[in-house]
Amino acid sequence: MQAYARLVVCIAVGAAFAGGVTMAQDGRTLVDFGPPFDTAAVEVRDVTIETVDTALGAGLRIRSGHAEAWPGITLKPAAGRWDVTGFRTLRMAVTNTGGNRVEVGFRIDNPGGDGARNCVQVVQSVEAGTTQTIRARLSATRWTLRGDVEIVGMRGTPGKPAIAPDNIVQIIVFVPKPREDHEFVIHAIEAEEPTESRDAEGFFPFIDGLGQFVHADWPGKVHGEEELARRRQAEARELGSHPGPGERNRYGGWAAGPQLEATGFFRVEKRDGRWWLVDPEGRLFWSHGVDCVNAYSATGITDREHYFQSLPDREGPLGTFYGKGGWAPHGYYKGKTPFDTFDFYRANLSRKYGPDWQAAWSDLCHLRLRSWGLNTIANWSSAEVYGAGRTPYVATVHIGGPVLAGSEGYWGKFHDVFDPGFRAKLAEQLRGKAKEAADPWCIGFFVDNELAWGDELSLALAALASPAGQAAKREFVARLRQRYDSIGRLNEVWGTAHAAWEDLLSSQDLPDREKARDDLSSFYTATAETYFRTVKEELAAVAPHHLYLGCRFAWVNDRAVRAAIRFCDVVSYNRYEYSVAGLRLPDAADRPVIIGEFHFGALDRGMFHTGLREARDQGHRAELYQAYVEGALRNPLIVGTHWFQFADQPVTGRGDGENYQIGFVDQCDSPYPEIVAAARRIGNTLYDLRSGR
């Protein structure tokens, strides 16, 4: 990776509550792999381990298999717990001594840690032959607040550790869902970054009238409403000096590249060993985009009014930006809907662009994207923006409809694809996209997002765990009756004792996974193929000229992906990793792939959560962005990457508490110059890199 100058900024804590500071003076080693370290005390899962001497000192060599989903080790303190009070971060150096890139997970647990709760976890890629330091941050800030201070509704919180630093009961090092064996060495695990302890008096309110953190300053912070107008004028001059990449047609396709058949709509084609999108004019196109190009960024204020320094008068000109929150699938507001909200981002757009801010901002979005080297308005974006016929976009459909009662997932239950209501609801939702279905600027349709695919048996087991009236369960039992001549024969194979087929239908007990594996996996495939086939058929009926871009896999297994490959024009993944250069499809399938989401975030500009992949600072975030997209351009399957998302999430969190520093712009609509510069570098060389020219 090319090196770029990096601005390193420490957020300066204001003096309003700066009294009574105590600070740890140096680092602390939790685990040293030199003598007398005993490998027999290490819990192992599908790995072999041995201590080794290296240039970095003593280490532990881990050779991991791929028979289990999470091969790795668990380290436990001899005294029952580690106490790292006074430190912000745990670090561990990793040297990849194998011949392939490895993803290494580093998890720090309080009692009850399970990978989602009571733990801090980070996963980082380590290329072959390199050493990387993995850091797990226990706190979003370099200071902690003393006393019983309650801060709710935020994934990352200022002054409050994510877990109790004085009660760390285990450290887990693992490889997430590997497809091959790996070999790497981990080195001493140490606490670093001493933290200050501060009295909480004067901390509240901690959000200013523009939605920014009060008790800090940083490059780019807005210091008053009058500064917004100056920023607008300065950006207009900057955009004028960077009109966008050359050699592009009106769609952002490669005007200097080969002329292919012009169909009037986007399509896919493989050329010279690489998959491409082809734009309506027949030019090669690679989708370099950003999600959530919209002006909606509300944060909950119910029970949290004291967080905010100066919320505007509800009856005044900014009163229109108050609202009611009805979406809170996780976090503090779950079960508390509706709750009061305020949208600082839209309020700031109004302050910055005036009464007609919607039209001004929408126009600016197109100018920004072209200037920044981006050519796609990606998922979750506003129809008022993408409908202007100026920048290609993707359409989004959410089905809803009947669910599989026995299923479970982070965003909700899976569809019951055998219920007639599934197809009916899908058709209804697609009919609402008639404008997009006729629009040549629309690349194609994503249908659904991050579904609960589970493992390759989960949806079949979910059908059996559902009530007797569930359509999927009735379909499964009908298929079993067709295969087995009697319930007795099924009992022999499954090791069950059902008296009749009706008993199987009414039972919600699950069979032994291994004994029933053939039938379970077969029905899983039938479920997945029915899902994708139904969507393909209904989408073709409404939008026959548009691409089916898949369902945006997040948690998935090969069996589900194989079904997608059969029916999708493009297979989509939300892939929060540091690289997708090596992404492959099951069975080495040759189909185009698009990345629907990825991001990196840092904590150097007044925010408190990095999102799903961490950067050290804004300069490093830009480097990671460039490396990720360049890796995707080198991958012959990938036809685009879409960054999540256009603007930072609110400092105090959206409905589910996410408050990630992941924007191209902040909550005051100020672009981050580092990542804009990285996107421009990619945009200016996009087609040269993809074509290998």
- Rama region for 682: left / alpha / beta (φ>0; ψ in -120 to 50; rest): alpha
Verify that 84 and 144 share a domain, yes or no.
yes
Distances (CA, A) of 235 to 231, 288, 407, 670, 673: 6, 22, 49, 9, 11
Write out the DSSP string of 74-93.
EE--TTS-B--TTEEEEEEE
Count of other CB atoms within 10 angstroms of residue 39: 13
What average pLDDT does the segment 238-252 reach?
Answer: 97
Verify that 271 and 357 share a domain, yes or no.
yes
Indicate if the pLDDT at residue 55 is higher than 60: yes
Assign 3-class secondary structure to 323-372.
Answer: EEECCCCCCCCCCCCCEEEECHHHHHHHHHHCCCHHHHHHHHHHHHHHHC
Which of these three, 138, 172, 191, is where a domain ends?
Answer: 191
pLDDT confidence of residue 693: 80
What average pLDDT does the segment 150-169 reach?
Answer: 95
Verify that 514 and 594 share a domain, yes or no.
no
Q: Residue 467 belongs to what domain range?
A: 420-547
Residue 363 lies in a domain: yes
User: Nearest 5°: CA angle at 321, between 316 and 323?
Assistant: 115
Residue 211 lies in a domain: no
Residue 282 lies in a domain: yes
Assign 3-class secondary structure to 501-556.
Answer: HHHHHHCCCCCCCCCCHHHHHHHHHHHHHHHHHHHHHHHHHHCCCCEECCCCECCC
> Contact, 87 vs 152, CB < 8 A?
no
Beta bridge partners of 124: 104
Residue 201 lies in a domain: no
Which of these three, 547, 570, 586, is where a domain ends?
Answer: 547
Verify that 427 and 535 share a domain, yes or no.
yes
Report the alpha-carbon distance of residue 450 to residue 612 in Å, rounded: 15
Place of tokens 């497809």: 179
Q: Are strands 287-290 and 376-377 parallel, antiparallel or unpaired?
A: parallel
Indicate if the pLDDT at residue 23 is higher than 80: no
pLDDT digits (tens, 9 = 90+) for 626-652: 999 999 999 999 999 999 999 999 999
Model-wide pTM > 0.85: yes
Report the alpha-carbon distance of residue 613 to residue 110 in Å, rounded: 22
Q: How confident is the model at residue 148 (pLDDT cuts 50, 70, 90)?
A: confident
Verify that 598 and 542 share a domain, yes or no.
no
Q: E-strand spans in 55-205?
A: 57-64, 72-75, 87-96, 102-109, 119-126, 131-137, 143-146, 170-174, 182-194, 196-199
Q: Give burial (CB, 10 Å; 0-12/13-18/19+) of 500.
A: exposed
pLDDT digits (tens, 9 = 90+) for 440-451: 999 999 999 999
Verify that 358 and 432 share a domain, yes or no.
no
> Contact, 486 vs 426, CB < 8 A?
no
| Domain harbouring 339, CATH code | 3.20.20.80
- Token pair, residue 222, equals 């807005």
Report the alpha-carbon distance of residue 95 to residue 130 in Å, rounded: 6
Count CA atoms within 13 Å of residue 232 on its CB side. Answer: 18
What average pLDDT does the segment 411-417 reach?
Answer: 97
Which of these three, 547, 566, 597, is where a domain ends?
Answer: 547
Place of tokens 């006729």: 438
Report the alpha-carbon distance of residue 631 to residue 624 in Å, rounded: 10
Verify that 128 and 155 share a domain, yes or no.
yes
Verify that 236 and 368 share a domain, yes or no.
yes
Indicate if the pLDDT at residue 417 is higher than 70: yes
> Contact, 138 vs 107, CB < 8 A?
no
pLDDT digits (tens, 9 = 90+) for 306-356: 999 999 999 999 999 999 999 999 999 999 999 999 999 999 999 999 999
pLDDT confidence of residue 11: 34
pLDDT confidence of residue 179: 86
> Contact, 321 vs 342, CB < 8 A?
yes
pLDDT digits (tens, 9 = 90+) for 270-312: 999 999 999 999 999 999 999 999 999 999 999 999 999 999 9
pLDDT digits (tens, 9 = 90+) for 399-413: 999 999 999 999 999
pLDDT confidence of residue 27: 60
Mean pLDDT of the chain: 94
Amino acid identity, position 335: G
pLDDT digits (tens, 9 = 90+) for 127-138: 999 999 999 999
Verify that 359 and 458 share a domain, yes or no.
no
Minimum mean pLDDT range among 77-81, 372-376, 562-566:
77-81
pLDDT confidence of residue 254: 98
pLDDT confidence of residue 177: 86
Which residue, 618, 627, 639, 635, is CA-closest to 682?
627
pLDDT digits (tens, 9 = 90+) for 433-472: 999 999 999 999 999 999 999 999 999 999 999 999 999 9
What average pLDDT does the segment 145-152 reach?
Answer: 90
Verify that 543 and 557 share a domain, yes or no.
no
pLDDT confidence of residue 15: 35
pLDDT digits (tens, 9 = 90+) for 468-526: 999 999 999 999 999 999 999 999 999 999 999 999 999 999 999 999 999 999 999 99
Indicate if the pLDDT at residue 24 is higher than 70: no
Phi then psi for residue 325, to 5 deg, are -90, 130
Residue 209 lies in a domain: no
pLDDT confidence of residue 125: 87
Distance of CA 10 to the CA centre of its chain: 26
| Domain harbouring 138, CATH code | 2.60.120.430
Specify the 3-state DSSP secondary structure of 665.
Answer: strand
Place of tokens 């072999």: 48
Q: How many domains does the chain have?
A: 3
pLDDT confidence of residue 116: 85
Distances (CA, A) of 667 to 157, 158, 354, 374: 17, 17, 17, 20
Phi then psi for residue 52, to 5 deg, are -140, 155
Residue 218 lies in a domain: no
Verify that 160 and 292 share a domain, yes or no.
no
> Contact, 455 vs 559, CB < 8 A?
no
Q: What is the spatial order of strands in the sheet that 196-199 belongs to?
A: 22-23, 196-199, 143-146
- Token pair, residue 650, equals 């609110």
- Rama region for 271: left / alpha / beta (φ>0; ψ in -120 to 50; rest): beta
Report the alpha-carbon distance of residue 68 to residue 15 in Å, rounded: 51
Residue 17 lies in a domain: no
Verify that 427 and 336 share a domain, yes or no.
no
Residue 513 lies in a domain: yes
